[in-house]
Structure formats: structure tokens, C-alpha cells
């Protein structure tokens, strides 16, 4: 599952950005990604035409009919049901299914950290819990302090672990917090051996949590220190650590071969972990594989991932990289690539039926991949982002073919997609483009819209 925080912008470049923003007159992203305040966006977000009210709750889950079914390979059908909205709009966050079937969401929103425009970080917003039985989201306790660029993982004991990240002043955290779904509250646990932000992490097959890479930074003391023009230095780290839920302690394991500051980590079917660094100025990012038994990292190759692309681990352990937009022209592409970690080979496979950037993708229970939402067109001449799409597709890796699925009940750049134990897929949150160019805004128009995709059954079931 892909976590969607935006990459950090170092403070040394923030002041240069201000001059560019003033000339361009367009919406500009934030300096760093952080937990959200839960506040409404500054402009009114229209509810999708012909859909249920924005009021969350059971009524929202039943008022709108399911979208029309689409015929898929194997005589399967897919449809969407609209659920209640999140308790607060969210556009950059992490979401996961809890062991009891509820869904947990926590903000990584950019405007809750220092932006290039100055001002102290916002207070962290509440976490969100969805009850799929009622289609209702309810707010739960917030983290104790602003945090962005962290790793969040569900442990085997049902707790959610949050560790590392940016304190909102560009300083790195070593602290780790645990969310208890039973009490809906947070508690402290063991500290990382090395404070780090923009780290990657995932859960191992034995239930331990692995984090790696990132960068250490002291950050700023306060707003005056930030506005002084002093650069906050980030120092990349290659070390990796393991968290044992039984002892609540972090221990060091083998270090990365190459630095990774920002990126993703994916558990592979054979128990290994693939970590991929973010490519800031080129498609190619380092791909490294961790072997838990030996506690050792090896380089798997270079993986091509465009900005706005989404990656999914297939059943055979290969990685599907879908869509994205060009580094220079920001034009969405339909390109799909498949990366083999064991050989380091990347090959192009069947392209998307339409270009796509900013979508979500999930491997379904039957091994196929659902891709939904995002943007199909280039930025408008006004500098504003093009409207998103509601369309969805399903990829069959065995046939190397795409099919059109039922469209979502709304057009959006989705925030997160979660495969549930039931086999259904929850798509929630995200953003829609602003209708006017604003300079001093560091977030898009966030939404809390939520829908559930059901693949259906085949004719032979």
C-alpha cells in the first residue's frame, strides 16, 4: 500500500520558491508533509452532483445507489457503494484495516508542518476510524504532537505503530507511539536508536516492524529561527532498525547499501522486503532488498517511477509501476512497467487504457489490480490542475490486459485505497483542484469522500 505524503522541500530552497510562486500565481505544494489538523479547506468543496449529502453517517452509506456494474475478465462484475464521509477532509494520510475490520486513518498533511510561508506548525488533528458495517467515520484521539513524514504500521497485537518523522520544524523524531483501537488512545513506546525523518518501513512476516534510511536533522528552534534564513541541514542515514512488539524495543539490523531519503517499502511474498527510494530528478530510483534471516540488504537494481505513479506488489513478487506524469512537462502517461527484484529487470507491459497520474492502486484478492481515480490531462493553461476522473480499470497480470471497471461515485485524486479482509476495496479521502489560483495556500482542496468497491463473483463460483 502506498503512503501518500509529499516530499519535503528543504528550507534553503523555500525562499527561492516564494519568488517563483509570486510570478506563477499558481497553487504551490507544502514544504513538508505532516499530520493534519482536520480543518476544512479554505474554499468550499462542492459535493458531487447527484450524490449523497456530505453529512457523514449511516444515511450517507445507503442514500446513493451503487454505480453500474462493469463486465470484467472471468465474467466478474464490479460496483461501488458510497459510504459516509471522513470526520475531516484529508488529502495526504495513511490508512489501514484493523484486526477487528474497522479502518484506521491518520494524517500526514503538509499544512500541519512549517511551510515556505512561515508560521508555526498546526496542532495534530484527530485520527479517524471507519466502521464498515455502518459506513460511518468517527474521530479518535490525535497524536501528542505534530508529526509528518513518519511510518505507520499495524502490529499483530492490533496496535498501530507510528515512528520517526518531522516534528514540524524540520527536526527528526526518535519517538514512537502506539494507538490502541480498544481505548482509541495513544501511548509511548521505545525510542528509535537514530532519530530520522522521511524514512521507509513495513511489517515483517514474524510481526516485527522494520524501518530504514531517512535523514537526521536538528531543525529549527522556533519561527524566528526559521525566518532567519539559516539552512537546516539534513544528514542521510543508511542504518535500519527492528521493533519487537513483545519487548517494545528497537534494535539495529543491517544497514542499507545506498541512502534512501523518502520512498516506499513493500513486503514481498517470500518474506523479504523491497525498499525503493524516491527519484527527485530522474525516473530511476534505487531498489534494495532486505533479507530478514541474514539481516542484510542487497541492491536489486534501479526502478523507474515517475512522479504521481503508483506501485503494487504482484503475487509473484514483481512490482507493477502504473502511470505518473513527466518530470518536465507534467503530462500524465499510460505507461506501465513491471520490475523483477530478483533480476533487476524492468519491462513495459500493457499500457493503461488512458493516461493517469495521482491514482490509487490495490492488488485484489484474485491477484488482479484495481486502479481508480487520478488525473488524465495536463495542467490547464491557467496553471490550475486539470479536473480528476472517476474512471477505474482492472489489470490482469496473467493475460497482461486491462478491463474497464465501474467508475467511482465521484471524480477525485484519491487519498488512499485499502484492501479489506472481505475482498472489497475502500477508497477514501483525497483532493480536487482549486477553482482559482491562490499564492499563500499550501494544501489542495481536501475531501473526505469514501466509497467501497466490490468485485463480485465469477460465473463459475
Per-residue pLDDT reduced to its tens digit, 306-325: 889 999 999 999 999 999 99
Count: domains in the chain: 1
Report the distance separating Cα 292 and Cα 265, nearest Å. Answer: 14
Q: Say if 4 falls within a structural domain.
A: no
Mean pLDDT of 40-54: 33
Q: Say if 6 falls within a structural domain.
A: no
pLDDT at residue 33 above 70? no
Q: Say if 1 falls within a structural domain.
A: no
Mean pLDDT of 99-122: 72
How confident is the model at residue 438, as a pLDDT?
Answer: 54
What would the pLDDT profile of 160-173 be if each residue is shown by its tens digit? 999 999 998 889 99
How confident is the model at residue 435, as a pLDDT?
Answer: 67
Q: Tell me the percentage of the chain whose pLDDT exceeds 70.
A: 75
How confident is the model at residue 24, as a pLDDT?
Answer: 35
How confident is the model at residue 224, as a pLDDT?
Answer: 82
Q: Tell me the percentage of the chain whose pLDDT exceeds 90.
A: 61
Taking all residues of the chain, what is their mean pLDDT, rounded to a whole number?
Answer: 81
What would the pLDDT profile of 245-283 be if each residue is shown by its tens digit? 999 999 999 999 999 999 999 999 999 999 998 866 566
Q: 34: domain range?
A: 11-454
Question: Could you tell me the CA-to-CA distances from 416 to 1, 203, 428 in Å, in that order?
Answer: 8, 18, 6
pLDDT at residue 362 above 50? yes
Mean pLDDT of 197-210: 97
Q: Say if 103 falls within a structural domain.
A: yes
pLDDT at residue 225 above 60? yes
Q: Say if 320 falls within a structural domain.
A: yes
Q: Say if 408 falls within a structural domain.
A: yes
Report the distance separating Cα 329 and Cα 378, nearest Å. Answer: 8
Q: Say if 281 falls within a structural domain.
A: yes
| CATH number assigned to the domain comprising residue 19 | 2.130.10.80
Mean pLDDT of 351-380: 93
pLDDT at residue 190 above 50? yes
How confident is the model at residue 150, as a pLDDT?
Answer: 95
Q: Say if 3 falls within a structural domain.
A: no
pLDDT at residue 130 above 60? yes
Residue 324 burial (10 A CB sphere; 0-12, 13-18, 19+): buried
pLDDT at residue 44 above 50? no
Mean pLDDT of 418-440: 84
pLDDT at residue 34 above 90? no
Mean pLDDT of 376-395: 82
What would the pLDDT profile of 276-305 be if each residue is shown by its tens digit? 988 665 667 789 999 999 999 999 998 888
Q: Which three cell numbers stand for residue 124?
A: 495534530
Residue 88 φ then ψ, to 5°? -140, 145
Amino acid at each position: 500500500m502506498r503512503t501518500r505524503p509529499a516530499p519535503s522541500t528543504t528550507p534553503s530552497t523555500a525562499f527561492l520558491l516564494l519568488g517563483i510562486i509570486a510570478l506563477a500565481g499558481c497553487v504551490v505544494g507544502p514544504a513538508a508533509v505532516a499530520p493534519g489538523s482536520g480543518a476544512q479547506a479554505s474554499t468550499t468543496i462542492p459535493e458531487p452532483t447527484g450524490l449523497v449529502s456530505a453529512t457523514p453517517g449511516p444515511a450517507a452509506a445507503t442514500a446513493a445507489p451503487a454505480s453500474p456494474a462493469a463486465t470484467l475478465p472471468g465474467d466478474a462484475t464490479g460496483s461501488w457503494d458510497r459510504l459516509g464521509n471522513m470526520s475531516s477532509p484529508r488529502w495526504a494520510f495513511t490508512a489501514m484495516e484493523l484486526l477487528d475490520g474497522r479502518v484506521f486513518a491518520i494524517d500526514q498533511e503538509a499544512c500541519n508542518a512549517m511551510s515556505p510561508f512561515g508560521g508555526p506548525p498546526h496542532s495534530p488533528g484527530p485520527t479517524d476510524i471507519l466502521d464498515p458495517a455502518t459506513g460511518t467515520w468517527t474521530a479518535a484521539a490525535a497524536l501528542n504532537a505534530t508529526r509528518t513524514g513518519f511510518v505507520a504500521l499495524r502490529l499483530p497485537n492490533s496496535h498501530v505503530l507510528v515512528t520517526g518523522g518531522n516534528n514540524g520544524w524540520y527536526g527528526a523524531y526518535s519517538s514512537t507511539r502506539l494507538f490502541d483501537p480498544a481505548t482509541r488512545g495513544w501511548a509511548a513506546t521505545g525510542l528509535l536508536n537514530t532519530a530520522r525523518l522521511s524514512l521507509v518501513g513495513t511489517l515483517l512476516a514474524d510481526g516485527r516492524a522494520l524501518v530504514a534510511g531517512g535523514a537526521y536533522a536538528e531543525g529549527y528552534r522556533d519561527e524566528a529561527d526559521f525566518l532567519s534564513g539559516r539552512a537546516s541541514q539534513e544528514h542521510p542515514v543508511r542504518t535500519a532498525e527492528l521493533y519487537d512488539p513483545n519487548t517494545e524495543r528497537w534494535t539495529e539490523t543491517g544497514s542499507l547499501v545506498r541512502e534512501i531519503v523518502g520512498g516506499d517499502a513493500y513486503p514481498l511474498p517470500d518474506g523479504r522486503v523491497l525498499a525503493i527510494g524516491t527519484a527527485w530528478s530522474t525516473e530511476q530510483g534505487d531498489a534494495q532488498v532486505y533479507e530478514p534471516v541474514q539481516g542484510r540488504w542487497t541492491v536489486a537494481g534501479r526502478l523507474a517511477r515517475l512522479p504521481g505513479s503508483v506501485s503494487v506488489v504482484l503475487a509473484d513478487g514483481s512490482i507493477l509501476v502504473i502511470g505518473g506524469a513527466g518530470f518536465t512537462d507534467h503530462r500524465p502517461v499510460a505507461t506501465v512497467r513491471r520490475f523483477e527484484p530478483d533480476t533487476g529487470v524492468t519491462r513495459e507491459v500493457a499500457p493503461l487504457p488512458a493516461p493517469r497520474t495521482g491514482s490509487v492502486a490495490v492488488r485484489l484478492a484474485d491477484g488482479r489490480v484495481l486502479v481508480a481515480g487520478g488525473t488524465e490531462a495536463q495542467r490547464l493553461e491557467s496553471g490550475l490542475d486539470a479536473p480528476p476522473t472517476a474512471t477505474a480499470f482492472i489489470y490482469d497480470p496473467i493475460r497482461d490486459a486491462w478491463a474497464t471497471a465501474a467508475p467511482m461515485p465521484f471524480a477525485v485524486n484519491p487519498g488512499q485505497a485499502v484492501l479489506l479482509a472481505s475482498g472489497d476495496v475502500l477508497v477514501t479521502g483525497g483532493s480536487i483542484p482549486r477553482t482559482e489560483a491562490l499564492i499563500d495556500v499550501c494544501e489542495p482542496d481536501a475531501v473526505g469522500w469514501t466509497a467501497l468497491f466490490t468485485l463480485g463473483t465469477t460465473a463459475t463460483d
